[in-house]
Structures are given as C-alpha cells and as structure tokens.
Amino acid sequence: MQQIFDAASKAAAAGDCAKAITLFSSIENSSAVQKNTIARAAIGLRKGGCLIRRGDLQQGRDMIEAAIPVLSDKPNFKFDVADAYLALGKAAYYTLNFDAAKRALRKTRALLGDTPTLDTMIWSARATMFDKGDDAINFAARALAIAKAQGVTNKDVFASLQTLHARALLNQGQADAAYKELKKALDAQGGLGLRVNVADIVTRSDLALAALLDDKAEDARKFLAYTGAGRLEHSPFDTARVVDSPACGGENGLSPDDSAVIQFSIGNDGTVGFAQPIYSSRHGNAAAVFAKAVSDWSWQPKTINKIPPVLRAAMRVEIRCTMSIKRPNIYSIFQDALSEWLAGKGVKPLDSQEKTLTIPALKAKLASREKDSNPLAPVPVLLALADHPYLDYAPSKVYFDRARALVEAAKPNLLTQLYFSTSHHDMKEHISGKDYRRALRALLDHPNVQANAKASAALELMIARPYWHAKAPDDQVALLNQVVNDPRLDKRDPLRVNALVQLANAQADNGNLKAAQASYQQTGLSAQQCALMATPPTLRHSSYGANDYPTSAQKWGFAGWVMTEFNITADGHTAEQRALISYPPFVFDNAATGIVKRSLYTESYRPDGNLGCGGERQSVHFQNG
C-alpha cells in the first residue's frame, strides 16, 4: 500500500498525472485508507491537484477542500497544503473567478514565506493582472528573478515570463516599458521568422498590442502580420454560430467605452477552450466579464477545422459591451405555450444552466429522462439538443422530430402544435424567405388557426415582415390591419401593438403621414419603447470599395471581420457607430464604422423624428485580394 502511495506521489510531483490518478484511485477506497483520516486527506490533496491539472476542476476542488482542514495544522504537510491552495487558485483562474484565485494564492504565499515557487509567482501575477496597482508587475518581476536564479535556459519559458511581466506593465498603462520588455522576449525567441509555434504567436500578439498602445501603429501591424492573424483565406467569424458581447450596464457595470483583448482557443468540436483576458481598458472585473462572454462562442466543426491548429490555439479579438436589447420575439408565443402545456403534463423544464450543457451531458440527461414513467419527460432535453449551437441541421432535426412525435401523441393544444409547425427545424435546411412565408400562409389558412385570435395574429405578423432578402409582401398592410382590427385582441395586447408599429412604418413609407400618426398614437408607446417593439428596419443601401480598405492592412496582407453596432434614426441613417467585436484587434475598426456610417436603412415613422431603432448590428468583412 505504502509503495503504491509513494509511486503515485512521485508521479504527481513529476507531472505524470495520468499515472498518479490511476495509482491513487487503486488504493483510496481500501479499508486501510478509509480508516486512516490523514492518509485519505493526503490522497485527496495530491489526486485533487492532478485532477485540476487534467481539467476536472470541480472534482479536484471538492477533494482538496475536503482534505485541507484535516492537514492544515500538520507541519509535515505544510508544502502539500501550499500546493493544494495553488491548485485551487489555478482552478478559480480557469473559471475566471479572479477574486477566489487571489484568496487561494495568498494562502499559498503565506505558507511558503520567503521561499515562493516560480509557479506561485506566475499565477499570482495572472490573478492580479487587472487590479489597480503594481501587484501583478511585482509578482511577474519576482518570477523572472526566480527563473534566473534557477538557471532557466529554455527560450520559450523565459520569453513567456518576460511576456507576463510586459502584460502586467501594459495593464497599468506602461506601454513603453511593456514594448521594450516584449522586444527582449522576441529576441530571446529568435526574432521574427515565418515558422511559428504558439509561444511565438503569443509574444508577437502582445508586442503588437503594446506597440499600438504606445502609438507605434506601423510596428503594431508588422508584428500582428507575423502572428498569422488576418492571413486566412476566410475569416473564422464567417462561420461562427454563436458570437455575442456582454450587455453594457446592469450588474456587469460595463460602459460602452470599455474594451478588452481576449485570447481563446477553438477545439475540433467548435467550442471555445479557455478564454483568457490579455488586456482591459478598465481595472476590476471587466476583463473577466468579457472573457466569460467569449467562452460561450461556438463554430460549426466542419468549418473551423479548416483553420490550422496553431492559429486556433491562440485567437484574439477586441471586444466591447453591447447596448442592444433583445426585442420580443413573435415566435415566443408558441414557445411559452409549449412550456405551459408541458408543465401541465408534469414535465420538469430545464433550467438556464442545463440548457447550455455540452452535447454529451445533454445525451446523458436524455438517457436518464427516457427512463421516466412520464413519456413526455425527454421533450425539453430533446429540444435543447435540437437547438444546440454545436449540432448541424441533420442531427438537430432528428432530435426535433423525436420531440414532436412525443408531443403529438399526447394531443397538444393549437399553440403548442404551432411551436413545431413554425420552427425552422420543420423547414428544409436552406429555405428562402419567400418559401418560409408560403409555408406560414398555409398554416394561417387552417380553420383551427383562424378560430384562434393569438395563433392567427402571430402568423399574420410573421408573414407581414421582411425575411432574408425577401421584402415585405404586397398584402403587408392588409395583414397588419387584420391584427389591429381583430376584436378578440385586447387594445394593449403585444401582438396588436406590434402590428400598429409596423403599420405606422408602412403608412409613412407610402407617404400617408396622417394615417401613420393615427396608428402610432394607438400604440401608447414612447419613441424608445416603439424602437424596441418594432420590426427592425431593413438595409436599403451600403457603399464600400477599395478606398475603404486600410492602406496599412493591404500592405501587410490582412483580412478581417468587424461586428459593428449602431442606432438607426427615423430617416434611415445610422448614428453612434462603434466596433463591437474585431478580428484581428484594432486593424479594421475605423474602416468598418466608416462603411456603416454611409449605410441607409428603411425609414421608420416616429412623431419626434428621432430614434427609429437602437442597438442594431452589421458585420463587415474585409478580404484582401
């Protein structure tokens, strides 16, 4: 038993966690260990550290937190406990909980006293990187001193420490000092070359950022060009499935002027690995908030695998918070009906966290629910899988059809049926706007739909709006009037108010301002509320050409992508244009907002003539050659 424990401990110390976990697992449940509280805790500390290193953060954290109280007052385990707190600090950092990371690392440093380890200083610098003050700078400098004292000669290791120190300087506004430090790191790696590894990409990316913040724009673009960023044939963001920014204000406390540079990896399955903040324009929690948003992004696996793995390992974006507010979705009337009907059948819904589980986790939950005596129990999980951003159309439709079959067998109400009949899953994969509208009209003609005020109004609104390059139908006004004049709907029914807003726009567009004003007044909405309620204006004109391509970007062969955000005035012009997400960072921000500034949208009727729509977005692609 002791030999196995010693071998496992030796493997853990050497970084061979696979072997260590196997050996510890072989003895942890033995009667001898279970009777020995200290032995059980010692295994918990060492195995828990390995589990965290392997990526099993929660299990590793649970084992360590159970073991620490047993061993914290045992002098022989002082360094084990210090290592355990270090592991907890790493686990917290990986979940972007920097405050918890700092608490754990303070305990590590207190136990080690005047002899901190290199690893402790590195992680202390990372955890305090976005705090106000010199803590991160001092920790990184101490890490460099320890490495020199230990005679570290590996160029990538030493360059990574110099990069860490420079990054700390950069986040305290010391761009010039950071630039000089990163130049040393670049020289240590052998300078600029065309063959790169991930360490080279990281150093050059940081150097480009430091140069930009130090007003060395041309140097910044040169270093960025040597990272490979923006040199791909197609932007990775052309095929992104989920890319969004955190909201401004609220509990996040973000302002529109706040920005961050986030580095992340993309796995073969299209999911983001670890999103790490590199730079934040504001001290405090902003960096973590931005990184958490990037963590939720995803791509289609078949498209992301076209990007070389070395570039996918260290992608970087510039990101700001969004000022947009999600509009009420007409389709939500059917979603709400389904949820209410399932609840009435005793089906437990998935909570918000369960809906975002990985595909394997959802499949496991589905297997569990399939054993339930209630035949409808699997439906929420099947629909979560059907809507999962990492699944392509064909497998998604399989899950959708299974859910539909279970629901239809239980004879659902009309609105629940329409949840399935109007879903994109029920259409062919690449359906046109005209074809979708034709399918909706067929549903509207059904006598049962006509007999239901909510169902018919929702379908009429869905038919009346523009779709995917298909303009509004010729009978748009007639459709909207049917909703407005339906005596079965309350005057303040959201469906009727939505129809009035769209009707006012259509009447104003046809030059009938008196009728538009009358329709608008019936909504009872302020201009800001109306901008939220209305169907967003559609793009009428956008001009761009070779002169919009930044000269420096052409010189270095950059391609890029920018998601812009802006308001649309009532006369269809854009205002308050800003870059929301940019790849590569900073290169195309001004060019993209310049293009959006010249875009023209359909006009919206507003009595005050001001805001037509707030927080709209448009992506701008830059392809060189």
pLDDT at 87: 95
Whether 82 and 116 have beta carbons less than 8 Å apart is answered as: no
Tokens of 556: 């270095």
pLDDT at 479 over 90: yes
pLDDT at 614 over 80: no
Does the domain at 539-622 match CATH 3.30.565.10? Answer given as: no
Measured CA to CA, the distance from residue 451 to residue 459 in angstroms comes to 13
Choose the most confident range, by mean pLDDT, from 150-154, 299-303, 430-434: 150-154
Q: Which fold has domain 1-107?
A: 1.25.40
Name which of 166, 169, 199 is nearest 183 in CA terms. 166
Whether 587 and 553 have beta carbons less than 8 Å apart is answered as: yes
Measured CA to CA, the distance from residue 530 to residue 265 in angstroms comes to 40
Helices 217-225 and 198-213 sit at what angle, rounded to 10 degrees?
A: 170
Q: Report CA-CA distances (Å) from 332 to 123, 325, 340, 416, 535.
A: 45, 16, 12, 11, 15
CATH number of 243-320: 3.30.2420
Which residues on neighbouring strands pair with residue 271, listed in sequence order? 298
Task: Give 128's pLDDT tier (boundaries 50, 70, 90).
Answer: very high
Tokens of 504: 């006012």
As to burial, measured by CB atoms within 10 angstroms (0-12 exposed, 13-18 middle, 19+ buried), residue 246 is buried
Domain(s) labelled CATH 1.25.40.10 in the chain stretch across 116-227
Measured CA to CA, the distance from residue 51 to residue 28 in angstroms comes to 14
pLDDT at 133: 95
Whether 581 and 497 have beta carbons less than 8 Å apart is answered as: no
The helix (H) or strand (E) run that includes residue 416 is helix 414-421
The DSSP symbol for 348 reads P
More confident residue, 273 or 47: 47
DSSP characters for 505-571?
A: HHHHHTT-HHHHHHHHHHH---HHHHHHHSPPPPEEE----GGGS-HHHHHHT--EEEEEEEEEETT
Residue 239, classed as helix, strand or coil, is helix
Q: Which amino acid belongs to residue 537?
A: P
Tokens of 444: 């509207």
User: pLDDT per residue over 598-612, tens digit each?
Assistant: 887 777 766 665 656
**Residues 339, 340, 342, 343, CA torsion sign:** positive
pLDDT at 545 over 60: no
pLDDT at 81: 94
Task: Give 189's pLDDT tier (boundaries 50, 70, 90).
Answer: confident
User: pLDDT per residue over 387-442, tens digit each?
Assistant: 887 777 888 899 999 999 999 999 999 999 999 998 877 666 556 777 888 889 99
Q: Which amino acid belongs to residue 590?
A: N
Measured CA to CA, the distance from residue 224 to residue 588 in angstroms comes to 13
Which residues on neighbouring strands pair with residue 575, listed in sequence order? 567
pLDDT at 353: 65
Which residues on neighbouring strands pair with residue 561, listed in sequence order? 583, 621
**Residues 304, 310, 312, 318, CA torsion sign:** negative
User: pLDDT per residue over 551-584, tens digit each?
Assistant: 665 666 677 888 998 888 777 788 888 999 998 8
Q: What phi and psi values does residue 279 have, to the nearest 5 degrees?
A: -145, 140
Measured CA to CA, the distance from residue 33 to residue 222 in angstroms comes to 59
pLDDT at 586 over 90: no
Categorise residue 602: left if φ over 0, alpha if ψ from -120 to 50, beta otherwise: beta
pLDDT at 555: 61
Helices (H), strands (E): how many in the chain? 31, 10
Helices 98-112 and 118-127 sit at what angle, rounded to 10 degrees?
A: 150
pLDDT at 60 over 70: yes
pLDDT at 470 over 60: yes
Residue whose tokens read 């196997």: 22
The DSSP symbol for 251 reads G
pLDDT at 373: 94
Helices 78-94 and 118-127 sit at what angle, rounded to 10 degrees?
A: 30
Whether 283 and 130 have beta carbons less than 8 Å apart is answered as: yes
113-127, 149-163, 181-195: which range is least confident on average?
Answer: 181-195
Whether 428 and 420 have beta carbons less than 8 Å apart is answered as: no
Say what the alpha-carbon torsion angle 427, 431, 433, 437 is, to the nearest 10 degrees.
Answer: -30
Give the pairing of strands 276-280 and 539-541.
unpaired
pLDDT above 70 covers a percentage of the chain that reads 88
Measured CA to CA, the distance from residue 173 to residue 164 in angstroms comes to 15
Measured CA to CA, the distance from residue 178 to residue 194 in angstroms comes to 24
Q: What's domain 335-533's architecture?
A: Alpha Horseshoe (1.25)
Burial readout 574-612 (b: 16 or more C-beta within 10 A, e: otherwise): beebbbbbbbbbbbbbebbbbbbeebbbbbbbbeeeebb
pLDDT at 355: 74
Name which of 607, 481, 604, 468 is nearest 536 in CA terms. 604
Burial readout 120-141 (b: 16 or more C-beta within 10 A, e: otherwise): bbbbbbbbbbbbeeebbbbbbb
CATH number of 116-227: 1.25.40.10
